[in-house]
């Protein structure tokens, strides 16, 4: 076995691992990157990229049926599902070179295509190599969580990893799980021609602001997606495809379909890493880390999904920056969640930055103020016949602590609020900006206006002062 040494050893070539590798190597550190599967990880190959490509195709198909809103005859789309999947594969292929082994070797990273396993607190074995490193970063990501439902181990089922192998559109897609993945794929497949039933054991999009989630559910049901909430699955059966699948609920209902997608969440990839040998503790959701993302072995960091917190690609990238600052530059750095955005790419989109209204009321009580603005008053969206949705901003002593958005481009609008909250800006700073007219981005300024309006237009003291000023102005 060949022995190697390096400054930074990274386990996993997903978003977080690649970001650490690129930053550290280009700053002069000696970096080794281990990846036993596909470069780019889940996001590129099975998650964010293919799902958004599929949603883009579904959006185009859906738009063909509502062209009459714009004075153009509606068209019934002729969907070639296999061609749609080719489109998805083409998008992955176009982005893949950015995450490729060749590109990172060009940065000076040594890439070893093997899984790593700790054999001591500072050493990892991978393939034919035993690697000793000054600092180690665990960026092994997560996998689909498969619940222990009786019969599931005997039924063909799909996850976000295997969905992309389908070459024909499901006749009736059953989805267990009403979270972001389940709801996005439900609407996309409905728009591509499938009958879709979502089975959620609690409330669909239950983590989100209830008012925002209700708008999404209303829109999806109007499109024909059957969303059944409080639907606890007790068993499944069937052979899939020709034989179909059957899902039995706790209340006795038997829901039959042609395909089954399991989308109940993710689990951190922490198995087979030899963590116990390295003195690294885990939690029920992932690897135990402190605010600096260090594990119980102070030489080892865990980032992204492996750290068991917010499982988003952009969080892994954010964590990577924390680690580069700490492990490469030796500077103090801590991760925060107060400004982390999340988005669900249904139509309408749903986005959240910081606290929801309920969370903010619990944390801040009477100090909380909520400002709202309805998308129906945004001229750009009115012109595009898409003016459905709203934004609400949770404000404490003049500073936003959370923003909930539902409507077109909600995810894009959320970018701005992440910057505002990350930099502890006041609503006055938001109000001072100028947006080009007409843009959807004006919504962010208008909600700041809604926050200040009662102070300016409904305040008798202000009116009295203005009258006095007007009397004395030359």
**Residues forming the annotated binding site?**
52, 116, 140-142, 177-184, 200, 265, 305, 311-314
Place of tokens 């209700």: 214
Numbered residues of the known binding site for FAD: 52, 116, 140-142, 311-314
Q: Are the C-beta atoms of 236 and 146 separated by less than 8 Å?
A: no
Three-class secondary structure of residue 154 per DSSP: helix
Cα distance from N-terminal residue to C-terminal residue, the chain: 90
Joined tokens for residue 182: 């389940």
Numbered residues of the known binding site for NAD(+): 177-184, 200, 265, 305
Joined tokens for residue 472: 């004395």
Kindly give, in sequence order, each residue whose CB lies less than 8 Å from that of residue 151, ignoring residues fewer than 6 positions away. 235, 236, 237
Three-class secondary structure of residue 52 per DSSP: helix
What is the residue-wise DSSP string for 180-193?
Answer: HHHHHHHHHHHHTT
| Residue ranges in 232-355 assigned as alpha helix (H) | 313-323
Order of strands across the sheet that contains 172-176: 226-228, 195-199, 172-176, 259-262
**Which of 153, 233, 155, 163 lies closest to 200 in space, CA to CA?**
233
Any bridge partners for residue 249, and if so which? 233
């Amino acid at each position: 076995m060949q022995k190697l040494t390096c400054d930074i050893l990274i386990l996993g070539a997903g978003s977080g691992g690649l970001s650490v590798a690129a930053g550290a190597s280009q700053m002069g550190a000696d970096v080794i990157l281990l990846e036993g599967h596909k470069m780019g990880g889940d996001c590129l190959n099975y998650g964010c990229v293919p799902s958004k490509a599929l949603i883009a195709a579904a959006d185009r198909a859906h738009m063909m049926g509502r062209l009459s809103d714009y004075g153009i005859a509606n068209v019934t789309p002729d969907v070639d599902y296999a061609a749609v999947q080719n489109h998805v594969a083409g998008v992955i292929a176009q982005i893949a070179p950015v995450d490729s082994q060749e590109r990172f070797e060009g940065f000076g990273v040594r890439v070893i295509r093997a899984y790593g396993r700790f054999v001591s607190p500072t050493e990892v074995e991978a393939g034919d190599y035993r690697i000793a490193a000054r600092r180690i970063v665990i960026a092994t990501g997560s996998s689909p969580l498969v619940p222990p439902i009786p019969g599931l181990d005997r039924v063909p089922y799909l996850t976000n990893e295997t969905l992309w192998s389908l070459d024909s559109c499901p006749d009736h897609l059953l989805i267990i799980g009403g979270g972001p993945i389940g709801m996005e794929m439900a609407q996309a497949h409905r728009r591509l021609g499938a009958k879709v039933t979502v089975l959620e054991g609690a409330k669909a999009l239950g983590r989100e602001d209830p008012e925002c989630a209700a708008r999404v559910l209303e829109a999806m049901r109007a499109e024909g997606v059957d969303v059944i909430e409080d639907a606890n699955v007790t068993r499944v059966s069937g052979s899939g495809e020709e034989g179909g699948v059957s899902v039995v609920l706790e209340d006795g209902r038997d829901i039959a379909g042609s395909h089954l997608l399991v989308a109940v969440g993710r689990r951190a990839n922490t198995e087979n890493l030899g963590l116990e040998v390295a003195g690294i503790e885990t939690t029920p959701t992932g690897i135990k880390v402190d605010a600096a993302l260090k594990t119980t072995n102070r030489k080892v960091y865990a980032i992204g999904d492996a750290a068991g917190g917010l499982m988003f690609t952009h969080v892994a990238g954010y964590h990577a920056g924390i680690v580069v600052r700490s492990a490469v530059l030796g500077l103090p750095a801590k991760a925060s969640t107060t400004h982390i955005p999340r988005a669900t790419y249904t139509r309408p989109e749903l986005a959240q930055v910081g606290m929801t209204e309920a969370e903010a009321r619990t944390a801040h009580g009477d100090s909380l103020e909520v400002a709202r603005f309805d998308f129906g008053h945004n001229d750009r969206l009115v012109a595009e016949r898409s003016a459905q949705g709203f934004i609400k901003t949770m404000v404490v002593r003049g500073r936003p602590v959370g923003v909930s958005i539902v409507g077109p481009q909600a995810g894009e609008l959320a970018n701005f609020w992440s910057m505002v909250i990350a930099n502890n800006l006041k609503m006055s700073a938001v109000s001072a900006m100028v947006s080009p007219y007409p843009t959807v981005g004006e919504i962010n300024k208008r909600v700041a206006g809604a926050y200040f309006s009662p102070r300016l237009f409904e305040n008798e003291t202000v009116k009295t002062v203005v009258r006095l000023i007007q009397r004395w102005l030359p």
